[in-house]
Structure formats: C-alpha cells, structure tokens
Amino acid sequence: MSEAVLLERSKDVLRVTLHNPAKLNALRPADIRALRDTVLDLAPDVRAVVFTGAGGRSFTAGMHLDTFPALDRESARSFISDVRDMLAAVRTVPVPTLAAVDGYCIGVGFELAMACDLRVVTTRSSFGLPEIKVGIPSIADAALLAQHVGLSLAKEIILTGDMYPVERFATSGLCNALVAPELLAEGTEEMLARVTGHAPAAMAAQKRLFEVWQNTGLAAGADISVREFASVFPSTPPA
C-alpha cells in the first residue's frame, strides 16, 4: 500500500483517505495503483466505500506535476492505463461508492469523484480539469462530465482548464448533497445510511446495470436487465 492512501474500516464501510495534506493530497503513480488494488481486493462484507481527503483543504489536487516531465510515449501509456484501470475499478465495484469532497477537487481527483456513485460536497469546494494547461488531454472518466453538467459546460471546463466553484454546479446534480464544511462527516453518514441497508446481491446487480446502461443501447440494456433481475432469485423455486 501507499503511505498516501490510508484505509480504515468502520463497521461495514471502508474509508479511503488520500493523505498527503502538505501537497494538497496530490497523488503519485503508486497511489493510483494502491487505489485500484483497494477496490479490486474489497472484503466481501464491505457495504460501501468512502473516498475523502486529509487536511480540510483538498480532496486531491490531482497528480503531482513532477509525474509528467519524465514520461515518454511508452511510460505515458503505462501510467495512464493505470489511471483508467483505477477509475474503472471504482466505477464497477459492486457496492456504493461515495466521494466526500472538501476543498480542491482537481484532475484525476475530479475524475475519481465522478467515478463514484455519489458525491457529498462542502460549500468551499472547487473543481477543475487543468490537464490542457500542462499540455495533456483530460481522459477516462472525464468522459462522464457532460452527463453531470451538460455538454457545453463540460467542454468549457475541459478546454479552459480553469477552476470552478461548487456554486457553478448548483442545478446540475453533480453534487448529491451540499453541506457546510463542518457538516461533511454528518452529511456523509446520512447518505451512507440511505444506501448501505439493501441486499448485497441486488446492489451488485444494480451496479453492473449502471455500467451496462452506460455502454450499450436501450434494447441491449433492457435485455441484460432481464437477466440481472432474474439473477437475484434462487435457481429453483422455494420449497
């Protein structure tokens, strides 16, 4: 595990803290792999995963800028493949995932928040995808941004690389709950209480269907939905 990715079990919830507050919880490639492995190796009795940042100033400022200058085409492909795989692992894990965002939520951190099912965000938070400013494109789960905020604003965010206060997303649905900074823990617990009491098999099926609906047309998605619905029942009739 990475020293900048701290894990804590609280009953049936796994809490993942991005912990490098001196650098606004900026991430290094090893942290990306640690996040991926955390969700891929999830214990079977975990009912939800919460991602948050340490220090009260930042969820994460994204990748350390010193990540990029040393990359060549081959190492860049390897690095960004790890980012893609981490985000996919978070998006497809069979339990609800929640980003508890306080402060800066930048770059891969913004993508991580979008990969999560739910977002509880403080009023002092701000978001941005500044990759274009350092000469690289936004990738992977940045593709979800238009679904959260609309195509026009998504293109503005990505093409300018600017930071946007949370108020800009007040009507978009990006934030499932908007709370004062001192109420982030309480707001997170309230959201967890609403999603952790359901049958694990039904939750896992629903999470699989989210991915199906994201990646298939209506007819194919409806056909797969039929199979998922049947899968939560026993293979033979109850006695």
Domain encompassing residue 219: 200-231
At residue 59, φ and ψ (nearest 5 deg) are: -65, -65
Same-domain pairing of 63 and 101: yes
Q: How many domains does the chain have?
A: 2
Q: With respect to residue 237, please indicate whether it lies within any of the assigned structural domains.
A: no
Same-domain pairing of 146 and 204: no
Same-domain pairing of 172 and 59: yes
Same-domain pairing of 130 and 151: yes
Instruction: Give the pLDDT score at 1.
Output: 64
- Burial class, 41, CB count within 10 angstroms (exposed 0-12 / middle 13-18 / buried 19+): exposed
Query: Average per-residue pLDDT in the chain?
Result: 95
Same-domain pairing of 35 and 87: yes
pLDDT digits (tens, 9 = 90+) for 130-183: 999 999 999 999 999 999 999 999 999 999 999 999 999 988 989 999 999 999
Q: With respect to residue 55, please indicate whether it lies within any of the assigned structural domains.
A: yes
CA 178 to CA 173: how far, in whole Å? 10
Same-domain pairing of 50 and 22: yes
Distances (CA, A) of 87 to 38, 113, 139, 152, 185: 12, 9, 11, 24, 24
The whole-number average pLDDT for the span 187-204 is 97
CATH of the domain at 187: 3.90.226.10
pLDDT of residue 235 exceeding 90: no
